[in-house]
Structure 1
Amino acid sequence: MAKTMEPNVNVNEVSRISTGTIFKGEISSSNDIRIDGTFEGKIYSKGRVVVGEKACIKGDIICTNVDFWGSMEGNFFVKDTLSLKSSSKVNGNLHIKRLQVELDAKFDGSCHMINEAEFDKLVGGSAADSAAAKKPVNSDNS
């Protein structure tokens, strides 16, 4: 009797907006998000948001951690660490617990160092709650 093997699957899925994609609206995820295209709106994530070097964002990012290489006009609300990489260009306000800035990163705005309670107060709950609250309703259920 032959035994079938199930492939190993990475349980940490990543939602992705690829280069050449333009998205306008709101994204809510309990997983990580990677943006390499153009995004206008709000991003809510319980996990990490990674913004690639060619990405352009206009709006707000509300999440646990951010690795940022692209350009942004908007505000960060980060429960833990925002890492501005050398190619990043940010015009907006930071509300964060920790900040890492590489040489040549550009930032124009104000920086407010906050703790978890202040984060929850600013965003009306945690990023996890925000993502859960934005969860779509299944229209198949009556």
Structure 2
Amino acid sequence: MPTPLEKSDIKAFLGPGSQFEGKLAFTEIVRLDGLFRGEISSKDTLIVGQTGELQAEIKVGTLILSGKLKGNVTAAARVELRAPAEVEGNIATPLLTVEEGVIFNGSLEMVKNSPEPAKKG
């Protein structure tokens, strides 16, 4: 089980009541609790809180979703759907966890996990 994320780990935050439209690319961890429309790409973690609403094409390392998503997701590592998440779209990921109470309407493709680069040391 992954370790819980600390608030200090989050590098960018779109709060409830805020709106953004466009392309978002980032490194490290980003949390969205507002409305986002567009494209999101990162090799790191995207967290969408319960008040988050996304209409987006998402390509990330990890997606942790508690809000609403209309669009497609490609996650290199994992997708976690946490209640009361609602997803309308397709998901491609090697690992999916879904809590009771989540609504998911779409297709799921379980892709093989890409090998991680060799660790130095």
* Greater share of helix: 1
Contact kept in structure 1, 2:10 and 2:31, CA below 8 Å: no
State the percentage of identical aligned residues: 26
Residues 35-85 of structure 1 deviation map (CA, whole Å, 9 limit, x = unaligned): 000000011122110000011000111111111000010011000110000
Question: Residue 70 of structure 2: which of 70, 73, 76 is its match?
Answer: 73
Q: TM-score, normalised by structure 2?
A: 0.84
* Greater share of strand: 2
User: Could you say which residue in structure 2 is the equivalent of 1:49?
Assistant: 46
User: Could you say which residue in structure 1 is the equivalent of 2:80?
Assistant: 83
Aligned CA RMSD, in angstroms, stands at: 1.6
User: Could you say which residue in structure 2 is the equivalent of 1:27?
Assistant: 24
Question: Residue 100 of structure 2: which of 99, 103, 126 is its match?
Answer: 103
- What amino acid is aligned across from residue 34 of structure 1 in structure 2? R
What is the CA–CA distance in structure 2 between the aligned matches of 1:86 and 1:25, rounded to whole Å? Answer: 27
- What amino acid is aligned across from residue 94 of structure 1 in structure 2? I
What is the CA–CA distance in structure 1 between the aligned matches of 2:53 and 2:26, rounded to whole Å? Answer: 19
Q: State the 4+ residue runs in structure 1 displaced beyond 6 angstroms.
A: none
- Equivalent residue pairs, number: 108
Structure 1 gaps, min length 5: 1-9, 118-142
Instruction: Look at both structures and tell me which one has the larger radius of gyration over its CA atoms.
Output: 1
Structure 2 gaps, min length 5: 1-6, 115-121
- What amino acid is aligned across from residue 47 of structure 1 in structure 2? D
- What amino acid is aligned across from residue 26 of structure 2 in structure 1? S
Change (3 A) 1:37 1:11: closer
- What amino acid is aligned across from residue 104 of structure 1 in structure 2? G
